Structure 1
Amino acid sequence: MSEPTFTKMTDLAAERLGGKALSCSDDFFAEKENLLKPGRGVFIVDKYTDRGKWMDGWESRRKRTPGHDWCIIQLATSGKIHGVDIDTNHFLGNHPPYASLEACNTTGDIDKAEWVEILPKSPLQPGSQNLYEITDRNIYTHLRLNIYPDGGVARLKVYGEVFKDWSTVTADETINLAAATNGAKSILCNDMFFSHMDNLLMPGRGINMGDGWETKRNRTPNNKDWVIVRLAHEGFVDKILIDTAHFKGNYPDSCLLEGTNISLADESKINDASIQWTTILPQTKLQADHEHFFEKEIASKEPFTHVRLYIFPDGGISRMRLFGKIKK
């Protein structure tokens, strides 16, 4: 059974994007911060703490009073939520039977926020990804995960669209057009065997070799791997950063960057031969574990909506930044 299409969207609650677990009713057995970590959580058979079994998730103690447990999450960016994954991986005899979600949009005191239910009380299966579509398309900044009555959840993933108020960005302001926090998204690549293409657009420098986009070794003569990124906004690229942090024996020999300008309606055919691509950065040598900045090498000052990064012949790139100005 294939996963819902919303799971291809940005996880607005991800810790690595900037999501935060602000508060909870109880996290006696396992800390609330685990909810927003990457992956599905791990299980270590003989690992215990002075409070009991170590668990990779958020777990409250057994409730002996009326009510239910809850955790408040600040999303990395404001956004429209399309679906959620309330993952109970490894929580078998201790998962909550039910959960619900509330949301609010606030920049002020969270205690005075008006909460709206976006997922009614719904059943959770143990040790499972519990995937629910969200139909409310309002813009939200925070979520409250309610579990009934108590128990453990490994991960909470909140899939949706980043919302950025572009009316507040001036035509002469420089921004990172390839930042996930601004709404950029990796949409297609030919290979991501070792690590995911979404990592290219994450904040900060990569923390290790797994925190980047890495393809498998390719022995085909003249091979080139590629990834296509939808920019956060149509814009002009003035400065490029290609970072090979942590990639030492497996960095690409060189890279090339192209751009195109198409509508979202045409995005489904972006890899067709009919799409016209313009060279932004000609094929250029790369170094191991290094931040490469390019300005004078940029060959086109046209506005673009999408870019395609080629690497020759294969390997890993940690981050790509495309600094420029939006087209008003």
Structure 2
Amino acid sequence: MGRRRLAPQPRSELILVALVVTLTSDKLPEIPPRGVRTGTAATQDEWDAIAKLKSEDWELLVPMTELKLGNPASSHNYFLVNSQHRWTLMRLNIFPDGGVARFRVYGTGQRDWIATDPTDPVDLVAVAFGGVCVGYSNAHFGHPNNMIGKRALRYGGVGPAPSGSTGWETARRPDRPPGNDEKGLLLVPGCEWAVFRLAHPGVITQIEIDTKYFRGNAPDSCKVDGCILTTQEEEDMVKNKWALQTHKWKVLLPTTKLSPNHSHLLDSLTLELQDVITHARLTIFPDGGVSRLRLKGFPSSICLLRPREKPMMRFSVKAGFRANL
């Protein structure tokens, strides 16, 4: 019999400190690429570049904390952070040394809207800018946040979906009918939906619905609605599972036929009918999967509806959270 390899034991003295700072791209020093030198000691040029960041003076997010011991293959340490500032860089320190398998930072993205080109439409629902799903009817195979960039960020940015697993897919409805109406739309008694808070209140001018990788399980059709909600109204809707009055929703995209494995670029309502919204709802008929949702438009000055004085979201680690990471 061969020798059994023992799993590496965690270091009981491993301690971490997390520091953060906000810097613009023009203030970032040029750090020499590591290249084939990965795993070797830093050069003097690299030390000089890092010293320019003055990271020892950054704001403290997580104080020096001893990491909990556990199974080396699944030992997770979570730290709740109460910060409403926008950060661009984070420094992780471990003492005295050791290994970290994964380092993840959860939060809500924020874009520098002052520097936004007013003539260039921007994706107002993207996770990277602060968009987030605040309610949905079904997420059997994938969370709606995947459509706006949650999992896409792990693949280098909010771009084309690398696979169907990085989208939103619902369970198949048992009441899915076999027939179509005279317009070719499936006669459906039910639907699935997801509601998103925009990264910034604004006017939606173009909608992109991408069903790439969903061939036999793409939705038959979809529609998009928008509304204006204050922070308190959103909290009430979350508690009521988004039983919002019909008159509150304004149609941005009427019921539209979708094709499988295809990117649909659709114009929103005409400029005369377009209004500022804070929330958008995507409804698919009767079920299926969508890889990407992009709501492009222009931010509005109506931002007092979501004051920054109070936390945008309250985070808590719930049962099954780790399994969904």
| TM bucket, shorter chain | 0.5 to 0.7
Confirm or deny: 8 A CA contact 2:208 2:266 kept in the other structure: yes
Task: Quote the Cα distance in structure 2 between the aligned partners of 1:273 and 1:95.
Answer: 52
CA-to-partner distance for each residue in 1:105-129, whole Å, 9 max, x for gaps?
2232253123323211112223332
Within the alignment, does 1:295 sit opposite 2:267 as a pair?
Answer: yes
Aligned position for 2:54: 114
Matched positions, count: 240
Task: Quote the Cα distance in structure 1 between the aligned partners of 2:16 and 2:105.
Answer: 14
Confirm or deny: 8 A CA contact 1:251 1:288 kept in the other structure: yes
Greater CA deviation, 220-229 or 317-326? 220-229
| Structure 2, unaligned runs of 5 or more | 30-49, 150-157, 177-188, 302-325
- RMSD over aligned Cα atoms: 2.3
Confirm or deny: 8 A CA contact 2:252 2:268 kept in the other structure: no
- The alpha-carbon distance between structure 1 residues 244 and 148, as it changes in their structure 2 partners (threshold 3 A), is same
Confirm or deny: 8 A CA contact 1:171 1:327 kept in the other structure: no
Aligned position for 1:232: 199
- The alpha-carbon distance between structure 1 residues 214 and 112, as it changes in their structure 2 partners (threshold 3 A), is same
Confirm or deny: 8 A CA contact 1:257 1:308 kept in the other structure: yes
Shift of 1:165: 2.2
Percent identical among aligned pairs is 32
Aligned position for 2:40: none
Specify which of 144, 147, 162 is matched with residue 207 of structure 1: 162
CA-to-partner distance for each residue in 1:52-87, whole Å, 9 max, x for gaps?
99xxxxxxxxxxxxxxxxxxxxxxxxxxxxxxxxxx
Greater CA deviation, 165-174 or 284-293? 165-174
Aligned position for 2:221: 254
Task: Quote the Cα distance in structure 1 between the aligned partners of 2:230 and 2:269.
Answer: 27
Look up the SS of the partner of 1:267 in the other structure. Answer: helix
Confirm or deny: 8 A CA contact 1:105 1:140 kept in the other structure: yes
Confirm or deny: 8 A CA contact 1:281 1:298 kept in the other structure: no
Aligned position for 1:94: 10
- The alpha-carbon distance between structure 1 residues 296 and 180, as it changes in their structure 2 partners (threshold 3 A), is closer
- The alpha-carbon distance between structure 1 residues 122 and 296, as it changes in their structure 2 partners (threshold 3 A), is closer
Aligned position for 1:176: 123
Look up the SS of the partner of 1:310 in the other structure. Answer: strand
Confirm or deny: 8 A CA contact 1:99 1:122 kept in the other structure: yes
Look up the SS of the partner of 2:235 in the other structure. Answer: helix
Rg larger for: 2
Task: Quote the Cα distance in structure 2 between the aligned partners of 1:216 and 1:200.
Answer: 16
Confirm or deny: 8 A CA contact 1:256 1:309 kept in the other structure: yes
Aligned position for 1:62: none
Look up the SS of the partner of 2:232 in the other structure. Answer: helix
TM-score by structure 1 length?
0.67
Shift of 1:296: 6.5
- The alpha-carbon distance between structure 1 residues 187 and 95, as it changes in their structure 2 partners (threshold 3 A), is farther
Within the alignment, does 1:310 sit opposite 2:283 as a pair?
Answer: yes
TM-score by structure 2 length?
0.68
Q: If each structure's strand is expressed as a fraction of its own residues, which one has the higher value? A: 1
Task: Quote the Cα distance in structure 2 between the aligned partners of 1:193 and 1:92.
Answer: 36
- Which amino acid letter does the alignment assign opposite residue 93 of structure 2? N
Look up the SS of the partner of 1:265 in the other structure. Answer: helix
Task: Quote the Cα distance in structure 2 between the aligned partners of 1:231 and 1:148.
Answer: 40
Shift of 1:171: 4.1
